[in-house]
Amino acid sequence: MSVACHPLSSQSILELEAPRNSYGGTFRSALIVGEDIAMAERMRRILGGLAPGRRVVVASTQAEARNLLAALPYDLMLVDMNLPTRDGVSLIQHARQSYPWIESVAMSAADDRELVDAAIAAGAVGYLLTEADDAELAFQLRSIERGGAPMDSRVARRLLGTIAASARGVAPFVAISPPQPRPRPQTASGLLSPRELNVLRLIAQGWSNRQIAESVFLSVNTVEFHAKSIYRKLSVKSRTQAVHEATQHGLLN
């Protein structure tokens, strides 16, 4: 569902028919794309405060956004990168290719390196973190008036670090969690169920599958199933190998 706010005068409509190839001024028409209605309405309110009387439209899906882009001209688009199936990335790419005069600004609730990198690669000119307060977001968006890139300071700092590291020819620093202790391999006795251990001990005594079945009141097929399971868990292929491996692990004591 799209929500248009503050209709334009006839003079403003004429202005919209000739989109500029470069920005660097107060936006005239903006499109906000995001599934989170509360977040989209918040961004609409912030944009309304920056440029009262300008048209701001909200779209909840990529498909709806594409239809709106084709119907009316825009010079600013805010895209939530948490849209499903990487729709945010493809929408920014679509705008860059089909409407190169539109300034696309990506946004997400928190700094996610993968989302930021994908947005910048797709053509976004800025990246906002919506966990910031309204005043901070408004300050960042106002930088567009001067031809700047609205960028959260935390995102900008990390990107600058990446650029600096690349210039020095070294890999950028990435925080790595301390190594976690590797789990101990499970012992053979822990791998085998009590039923399998019982069958294995009877196998070691030379009993046939039929004799084992009669002894433990199971069908021959069930005993064969347990035997194959024992072979698989002990990584063996025969009764002899199974008995040898079991002896090595102390399973027959």
pLDDT at 127: 95
Distance CA 19, CA 16 (A): 6
pLDDT at 13: 32
pLDDT at 172: 54
Average pLDDT over residues 236-251: 80
Would you place residue 246 in the very low, low, confident or very high pLDDT band (cuts 50, 70, 90)? confident
Residues of the chain with CATH 1.10.10.10: 188-248
Q: Pull the structure tokens for residue 128.
A: 């906002």
The tens digit of pLDDT for each residue in 138-195 reads: 999 988 877 778 888 888 887 777 777 766 665 555 544 455 544 433 445 467 888 8
The predicted model scores a pTM of 0.58
Distance CA 168, CA 162 (A): 10
The tens digit of pLDDT for each residue in 44-68 reads: 999 999 888 889 999 999 999 999 9
Residues of the chain with CATH 3.40.50.2300: 3-168
The tens digit of pLDDT for each residue in 69-117 reads: 999 999 999 999 999 888 999 999 999 999 999 999 999 998 888 899 8
pLDDT at 42: 95
pLDDT at 56: 95
Residue 238 has pLDDT above 50, yes or no: yes
pLDDT at 171: 53
DSSP per-residue letters across the chain: --EEESPPPHHHHHHHTS--SS--S--SEEEEE-S-HHHHHHHHHHHHHHSTT-EEEEESSHHHHHHHHHHS--SEEEEETTSGGGHHHHHHHHHHHH-TT-EEEEEESS--HHHHHHHHHHT-SEEEETTS-HHHHHHHHHGGGGT---B-HHHHHHHHHHHHHHHHTSPPP---PPPPPPPPPPPHHHHS-HHHHHHHHHHHTT--HHHHHHHHT--HHHHHHHHHHHHHHHT-SSHHHHHHHHHHTTTT-
Structural fold of domain 188-248: Arc Repressor Mutant, subunit A (1.10.10)
Q: Dihedral of CA 189/194/198/200: which sign?
A: negative
The domain over range 3-168 is classified in CATH as 3.40.640.10: no
pLDDT at 148: 78
Would you place residue 21 in the very low, low, confident or very high pLDDT band (cuts 50, 70, 90)? very low
The tens digit of pLDDT for each residue in 113-143 reads: 889 989 999 999 999 999 999 999 999 998 8
Residue 1 has pLDDT above 90, yes or no: no
